[in-house]
Amino acid sequence: MTTIHPKITEVLTGTFKVPAAEILPESTMDSLEMDSLAVAEFAVIIKETLGVTADSEKLYKDATLADITAYIDAAVGSAAEATVPVSNTR
């Protein structure tokens, strides 16, 4: 599991009061009783904490937490690669 999963769990349990026992890889936002407004707020928190713009529609539509974790992890990786300076070998 990536380092993103604990951060997602922290947001879900802390901000949205989702019981930790319900946060499973196969859980969906809907199964966690997160409506579209809560998912939009979740996306804002992810942007603020991880610097990643997450599409709330992708987070909500039938995506499992495993899918969401992979999506955010890939976005974090892409952002990190984009900010790594390229050395000048001249």
Region of residue 33 (left: phi > 0; alpha: psi -120 to 50; beta: else): left
For residues 25 and 85, the model is more confident at 25
Which helix (H) or strand (E) element contains residue 79? helix 65-83
Instruction: Average the pLDDT over 55-84 and give the result.
Output: 78
Domain extent at residue 59: 6-80
Q: Is residue 86 part of a domain?
A: no
CATH of the domain at 73: 1.10.1200.10
Q: Is residue 1 part of a domain?
A: no
Which distant-in-sequence residues (6+ apart) come within 8 Å of 32 by Cβ? 12, 16, 18, 22, 23
Tens digit of each residue's pLDDT (9 = 90 or more) over 6-62? 999 999 999 999 999 999 999 999 999 999 999 999 999 999 998 888 888 888 877
Can you give the pTM of this predicted structure? 0.79
Would you give the end-to-end CA distance of the chain in angstroms?
Answer: 40
81 touches 63 (CB < 8 A) = no
Both structure tokens of 54? 């997450």
